[in-house]
Amino acid sequence: MALDQGHIATIQQLGTIVRELDGRYVGRRDAARLLVVAAVCREHMLLLGPPGTAKTDLVAHFAGLIQARSFTYLLTRFTEPSELFGPLDFERFQKGVYRVKTDDMLPDAEIAFLDEVFQGSSAILNTLLSVVNERYFFNGASRERVPLVSLFGASSELPEDPALRAFGDRFLLRMEVEQVARTMMPELLKRGWQQERERVAGDGAAALAIPPIRLRDLLALSGKLAEVDLGPVRDAYAEVITDVLAQGVTLSDRRIVRGQKLVAAAALLRRSLVARPVDLWPVAHIWTEPGDAGALREAVGDRVVADGGQSPSGGRTAAELEALARHHAMAVLGKAGAPTQAGVIVAMRGINEVHRQLRADHRGELAAQQRVHALLAEVAALLDDPQGDGHV
């Protein structure tokens, strides 16, 4: 079976959504691509990052581009279950039946976003487990099917509590959302001011800059996932998982098995029903611990680049990383007087980390790698300290 014109039209619409989000938010193209993959797979995605990095606005704008019932809420330690799942139905309660009214609440949503998702109480998180994993909501004595396509969560960090970690494992896709690099500040100010003008003017036209995609078309494309042939890429996928597990990366069996669905989605978005190594790119985001992200990016990037694709980004472009290396270098090269040895060593460590990220995330940017390496050599030359006074 091949993709018909309806499926292709949906894929084109999803590509337009990625471009819309990329044009609206600085440095968020990877996040936009993953939001689309999550929706196609009907999987859940967690965005990790400090406050003020547009996580909420990004997901809200994405949800607005899908014709679906949506639900958004900011969780705190004091959030009551009724605020998410609905108030008690008093009329039925008076007749001895315990039920809650779920209209326009989370159990009624098709796309949901929970900010500070790990702040919820144990009662909330236990209920969410069945909603996100089995798509069921236990309403009193009855078990009700929920129409949830994807739940997007945001948090400033992963919790230490094992119970919360178990809930967090239900988010198959993970994305670290960093603050915009200094080199992109002018563009951030330009786009940010445009959005502020829209809010002040109460202009909703920006959200309708492109026609929203119909949920039924999105679900029809999701139904094609089972037809994608993963045979040509299964060995490469197994090698990626084996490589990172050997490095001590933690991945549950659930994440490993469901990661194949992400590969199938990437193939579909490439308008193919046969997967190739280039379609492994979303697998770079199935990590459990943020510290494991680099190992997955490198293992996936090797296969993706070898198949003609672009290595999964670590969040910064090659130009942004190169600018960061220059910033580290100028801390000692542009300093009046002789910098201290300790200062030079700190700068070298920073530049070396940038060089490592360039090699892992932007393997094809050889010129940028060479320039950063030259900066490292220039700073290292300052270590010659014939005076022996701690300065160079």
Task: Report long-range pairs for 72-77 (Cβ below 8 Å, ≥24 apart).
Answer: 72/112, 72/113, 72/114, 72/115, 73/106, 73/113, 73/114, 73/115, 74/114, 74/115, 74/116, 75/114, 75/115, 75/116, 75/117, 75/118, 75/119, 75/120, 75/124, 76/116, 76/119, 77/119, 77/121
Per-residue pLDDT of the chain (392 residues; tens, 9 = 90+): 688 999 999 999 999 999 999 888 888 888 999 999 999 999 999 999 888 778 888 998 999 999 999 999 999 999 999 999 999 998 888 888 899 999 999 999 999 999 999 998 888 998 999 999 999 999 988 999 999 999 999 998 888 787 788 888 899 999 988 777 665 677 777 777 777 887 777 654 444 578 899 999 999 999 999 999 999 999 999 999 999 999 999 999 999 999 999 999 999 999 999 999 999 999 999 999 888 888 999 899 889 988 888 777 655 677 778 888 888 888 888 766 678 888 888 889 889 878 887 876 676 788 899 999 999 999 999 887 544 344 44
pLDDT of res. 190: 79
pLDDT of res. 92: 87
This prediction has a pTM of 0.78
What is the secondary structure of 10-27 as a DSSP string?
A: HHHHHHHHHHHHHHHSTT
pLDDT of res. 341: 86
Cα torsion 276, 277, 278, 284: sign: positive
pLDDT of res. 187: 75
Round to the nearest angstrom and report the end-to-end CA distance of the chain: 69
CB 168 within 8 A of CB 46: yes
The residue length of the chain stands at 392
CB 44 within 8 A of CB 153: yes
The amino acid occupying position 390 is G
C-alpha distances out from residue 278 to 176, 230, 258, 265, Å: 22, 12, 18, 12
Question: For residue 217, how far is the Cα from the chain centroid?
Answer: 23
What is the secondary structure of 100-155 as a DSSP string?
A: B--TTSGGG-SEEEEETGGGS-HHHHHHHHHHHHT-EEEETTEEEE----EEEEEE
- Please give the Cα distance from 306 to 99 (Å, whole number): 55
- Please give the Cα distance from 267 to 11 (Å, whole number): 11
How do 142-145 and 136-139 pair as beta strands?
Answer: antiparallel
